[in-house]
Amino acid sequence: MSLQAIPLSLTNLLAPGVTYALGWALLHFLWQGTALAALAAAAMALCRRAPVRYLVSVSALALMLAAPMATVFFYSQQYSGEADTVKPAAAFLADALPEKLKHVTAAAPVAGYTKIAGLGSHDTVWRQTAFPWLVEAWLVGVAFFSLRSAGGFLLLERERRRQSRAVSSRVLEVCHALEHRLGLDRAIAYCECQWLKAPAVIGWFRPVVFLPVTVLSGLSEEQLESIIAHELAHILRLDAFVNVFQVCVETLLFYHPAVWWLNKRIRAEREHCCDEIAVAVCRNAVEYARALTRLEELRSAPVLAMAANRGPLTERIVRVLGVRTFGDGMRGFGLAASTLCLAAALIAGNVLLGIAHAKPAQTVTLAQDEPATMSQAATPVTKPTPAAKPSPAHAQIAEQAQAGSSLSSSYIDGLKAAGLTDLTPDQLIALKIQDVTPEYVREIQAQGLHPDVEKLIAMRVQNISPEYIRELHADGLNPDLDQLIALKIQGVDASYDRGIKDAGLQPNVNELITMEVQGVTPEFVRELRDAGLALSADDVIAMKVQDVTATFLKAMRDLGLQPSANNLIAMRVQDVTPEYARDIQALGLKPTANELIAMRVQDVTPAYIKALQSAGLKGDVDDIISAKVQDVTPEFIEQAIKHGFKNLTIQKLIQLRHLGILEPKAEL
């Protein structure tokens, strides 16, 4: 290759050492990013809690940004002794050639004098040709993604100013109450808008919560409260600043898929964390799940905003409801995949480091006083270097090649005939290790399923046979691939489905998986239905979660109560026990199931009722609940009697408490 002057480009503005360091940093990050992503995936697979997984993923992203910076620093230090000026290669050569040969430089390049010119290292070829183009392409990509992000920020700001107005006083009261419950003391604005379809938070130091008109009118008050709590959780956790950091990393390292994958995981875990806060504040996971379902129908939020409907709907809902997800059963598979990716990244890094730091062949140069012919000047004379001992990276590559060669052509042809074409060596090896044969692929396809390589491996790992699929189909179940794997992981077979259906339910595939996860047996369903309850699959799951048994139902009915399925679930949630109901009835009250739940919600205890009765007050269940709500205490009753009030009733005491007549007046 002839030594030519570098074309005028963006990299001409950089010192040669900087271009060299940037080029190597971009190449090294290919394996560094893969290795960090593999470590992050393994760590997140071992973590059970969403906040911990979020911290791990954000830390991994920070390391991804630090890795190329450290690489640039390393190579810039290594080559800091080189000239800082940019000169064409021909100029270096002309300065170094002897006077006898300077007259031939215009006619032909003199490759044998590279050592004399100070450019004898093989990496100079990269710096003079490939590295400038590589760095220039990276700079163009960074500029493109920077403009895209800046345009997004400007668009958000313009829409915020043009199409937003203040929310109603009722909604504002709900928002301020939630701020107080979350302990937020920042200045937060709330706006009603029509250009968004889901609530979102925009802004860093002065955040604005946007509430679309469709959400304000389409959600119940309790659902709206939970969604606003989700948005305030983003502000409480300072998620907007982390999101800006993510956008910056995506802009700088846009060319690596691991960065985009990790950012997607960060955004998903961020939503899980805010979901947990929203449920903890509002204490109604079911209503929050319904709100998420409604928001999914209205999904449309800018990437630069924090929105409540961001992330996979099904995964978020099952997490909110406390149900095990399919990913819980795939942790082992995820760890194995992470280990393979990490090993591949380290091998690639070892090879690249070997290339970067390999010693060049020794070049014989001519003395300035030695005559030279054109043929000598044009051809370098090199001394052969002794054969180096194979590196560990070369040995591992040889082992992989040997493993790949063991795959017979008939096996590969069989997979191609089954529709699996363009397979990589890693995919072929994984398929062979898991004993995925062409016959197995064809039998699976005969059941109407067409899994890709990853799904086939997962199905084989879970020992999903064609017979298992046929049994499910014969029983009326038609699961997709993900549902099929989840059914097998949870141990759901056709006999379990038949038992549930024989007990009187007709669950779909997802309900069947959830029932197995929660330990719902056909006997459990049969006992409840034999007791006369009209149940759906959701009712049965909720009753199992809340430990509503036939024994509990019988105890309530023995007290003269006729609770419905929803009553029984609410009783368990509010800790309404048969003993509590019996103690209330012993005081002469006959509350219904709904009234018992309301009394428990308001913390009406038998002791409180006794205190009211001891003061000579009689009332029905509604009066007692109203008294508790209005904070009519035994002490308040004594105070009223001391002030001379006679013939008191619960209604009069409630009026006195409401009017504040007995409260001491503030001193002027």
| Interval 88-113 mean pLDDT | 39
> pLDDT tens across 197-226, in order?
778 888 778 888 888 877 777 777 888 888
**Token pair listed for 371:** 């005559």
> pLDDT tens across 615-661, in order?
777 778 888 888 888 888 888 887 777 777 777 778 878 877 777 76
Q: Where residue 320 falls among pLDDT bands split at 50, 70, 90? A: low
Would you say residue 544 has pLDDT above 80? Answer: yes
Q: Where residue 61 falls among pLDDT bands split at 50, 70, 90? A: very high
Q: Of the ranges 97-106, 176-185, 526-535, which one carries the lowest mean pLDDT score?
A: 97-106
In one-letter notation, the amino acid at residue 468 is Y
Beta strand pairing status for 208-212 and 189-193?
A: parallel
* Cα–Cα dist 628/595, whole Å: 13
Q: Is 541 helix (H, G, I), strand (E, B) or coil?
A: helix
In one-letter notation, the amino acid at residue 14 is L
| Interval 277-285 mean pLDDT | 83
The pLDDT value recorded for residue 252 is: 93
Beta strand pairing status for 381-382 and 363-364?
A: antiparallel
* Percentage of the residues of the chain whose pLDDT score is greater than 90: 25
> pLDDT tens across 292-309, in order?
777 776 554 444 554 554
306 bridge partner residues: 201
Residues near 384 by Cβ (< 8 Å), separated by ≥ 6?
361
* Higher-scoring residue by pLDDT: 486, 10: 486
Q: Where residue 100 falls among pLDDT bands split at 50, 70, 90? A: very low
Q: Where residue 291 falls among pLDDT bands split at 50, 70, 90? A: confident
> pLDDT tens across 368-396, in order?
344 443 334 333 444 444 444 444 444 44
Evaluate whether 31 touches 355 at the Cβ level (below 8 Å): no
Q: Of the ranges 111-120, 473-482, 515-524, which one carries the lowest mean pLDDT score?
A: 111-120
**Of 145, 513, 192, 58, nearest in space to 327 by CA:** 513
Would you say residue 3 has pLDDT above 50? Answer: no
pLDDT, the chain, mean: 76
The pLDDT value recorded for residue 77 is: 79
* Cα–Cα dist 480/314, whole Å: 15
Would you say residue 89 has pLDDT above 80? Answer: no
Beta strand pairing status for 200-202 and 208-212?
A: antiparallel
Q: Which CATH class is domain 163-253+264-323?
A: alpha beta
* Cα–Cα dist 66/29, whole Å: 10
Would you say residue 254 has pLDDT above 60? Answer: yes
The pLDDT value recorded for residue 642 is: 79
Query: Which run of H or of E encompasses 165?
Result: strand 164-166
- From residue 315, give the alpha-carbon distance in Å to each of 110, 450, 526: 66, 24, 30
Residues near 233 by Cβ (< 8 Å), separated by ≥ 6?
182, 273, 274, 277, 278
Beta strands in 251-310 (DSSP E): 306-307
* Higher-scoring residue by pLDDT: 65, 311: 65
Residues of the chain with CATH 3.30.2010.10: 163-253+264-323
Place of tokens 């960060």: 266
What's the pTM value of the predicted model, to 2 decimals? 0.45
Q: Where residue 91 falls among pLDDT bands split at 50, 70, 90? A: very low
* Cα–Cα dist 63/259, whole Å: 11
> pLDDT tens across 433-478, in order?
889 999 999 999 999 999 999 999 999 999 999 999 999 999 889 9
Would you say residue 42 has pLDDT above 80? Answer: yes
- From residue 477, give the alpha-carbon distance in Å to each of 483, 498, 504, 507, 513: 10, 11, 16, 10, 12
* Cα–Cα dist 567/58, whole Å: 44
Q: Where residue 276 falls among pLDDT bands split at 50, 70, 90? A: confident
Q: Is 382 helix (H, G, I), strand (E, B) or coil?
A: strand
Would you say residue 402 has pLDDT above 50? Answer: no
What length does the chain have?
Answer: 668
Residues near 175 by Cβ (< 8 Å), separated by ≥ 6?
167, 188, 190, 209, 228, 232
User: Which conformational region is residue 505 in: left (phi greater than 0), alpha (psi within -120 to 50 degrees), or beta?
Assistant: beta
* Cα–Cα dist 571/250, whole Å: 50
Q: Where residue 583 falls among pLDDT bands split at 50, 70, 90? A: very high
**Token pair listed for 518:** 């929660």
**Of 549, 590, 596, nearest in space to 574 by CA:** 596
Q: Where residue 36 falls among pLDDT bands split at 50, 70, 90? A: very high
* Percentage of the residues of the chain whose pLDDT score is greater than 70: 72
**Token pair listed for 550:** 């036939």
* Cα–Cα dist 156/151, whole Å: 9
- From residue 85, give the alpha-carbon distance in Å to each of 12, 91, 489: 10, 12, 64
Residues near 426 by Cβ (< 8 Å), separated by ≥ 6?
340, 344
